[in-house]
Amino acid sequence: MRHLACRTLLAAGLLGTAPAQADSTPAAALAQSAVTAYEAGHLDEAARLFDRAARAGNRLAQFNLAMMLFRKETVAPEPDAAWRWLRRAAGAGLAQAQYNFALLYDRGSGVRTSLPTAAEWYRRAAEQGHTEAQVSLATMYYVGHGMPRDAAAAARWYLAAARAGHAGAQYIVASMYETGDGVSADLRQAEHWYAQAALQGDIAAQAKYEALQARPGDAAP
């Protein structure tokens, strides 16, 4: 059975159902029929149904159709069709589409690189709780990628992703607390976040956690 998983540089999968919209409109039913066709390997039918649902305003269908176009699983009627459908889904507020749209401009994938545009769409997705968007936006702030370096802003977004369970963000937040970069130095918090990352199998985080525990008087008991 086929599954809706992206094979492009966009690094994001298709969305198979419509829980985010929570509706029972004809467009949503079309989108679900398109998913069924896709998973059965009937790509032409899936593309046709996604197109109908997309034109009816279903943002998940818009996103899924864009992904099929990017992956060349269906023929693009116009050269910029994939971009247009992804832009519509992003504009309709779909966080995954916003993240993917940001990636286009961050990496210059088929468009002229625009870091301000990337940051804006990362922010929109991040504000909806999209963890990878939070990490991407935090990294832009942390390294000054297309904007002045702002360690405090980076820390806020890394912390949001860390709280959502992102192991990489947990390690970075721990490091920031350990060194006082963007936050007030706090070895108790550093130990906590290294431990959280270590619980997810991060070997380096485990080593840092153990090192903090071994420091007399610094780490929490």
Percent of the chain with pLDDT over 70: 87
The 10s digit of each residue's pLDDT in 201-214 is 999 999 999 999 98
> In the chain, what are the domains?
1-99 (1.25.40), 129-221 (1.25.40.10)
Of 36 and 216, the one with more pLDDT: 36
Task: Please report which helix (H) or strand (E) contains residue 10, including its range.
Answer: none
Q: Please, which residues have CB within 8 angstroms of residue 177's CB and are 6 or more apart in sequence? A: 183, 185, 186, 187, 189, 190, 193
Block residue for tokens 């599954």 = 3
For residue 44, the tally of other CB atoms under 10 A from its CB is 11
Angle between helices 81-91 and 59-70 (to 10 degrees): 150
The 10s digit of each residue's pLDDT in 110-144 is 999 999 999 999 999 999 999 999 999 999 999 99
Distance (Å, rounded) from C-alpha 115 to C-alpha 158? 19
Question: Which residue, 2, 127, 92, 56, is CA-closest to 16?
Answer: 2
Q: Please, which residues have CB within 8 angstroms of residue 9's CB and are 6 or more apart in sequence? A: 103, 107, 109
Distance (Å, rounded) from C-alpha 138 to C-alpha 122? 9
- The two structure tokens encoding residue 207: 């080593």
Contact between residue 67 and residue 34 where contact means Cβ atoms under 8 Å apart: no
- The two structure tokens encoding residue 49: 């149904």
- The two structure tokens encoding residue 192: 């906590």
Question: Which residue, 59, 19, 17, is CA-closest to 36?
Answer: 17
Mean pLDDT of 152-179: 98
Q: Please tell me the pTM assigned to this model.
A: 0.86
pLDDT at site 6: 30
Of 79 and 158, the one with more pLDDT: 158
The 10s digit of each residue's pLDDT in 2-57 is 223 232 333 345 555 444 445 568 999 999 999 999 999 999 999 999 999 999 99
Is residue 84 scored above 80 in pLDDT? yes
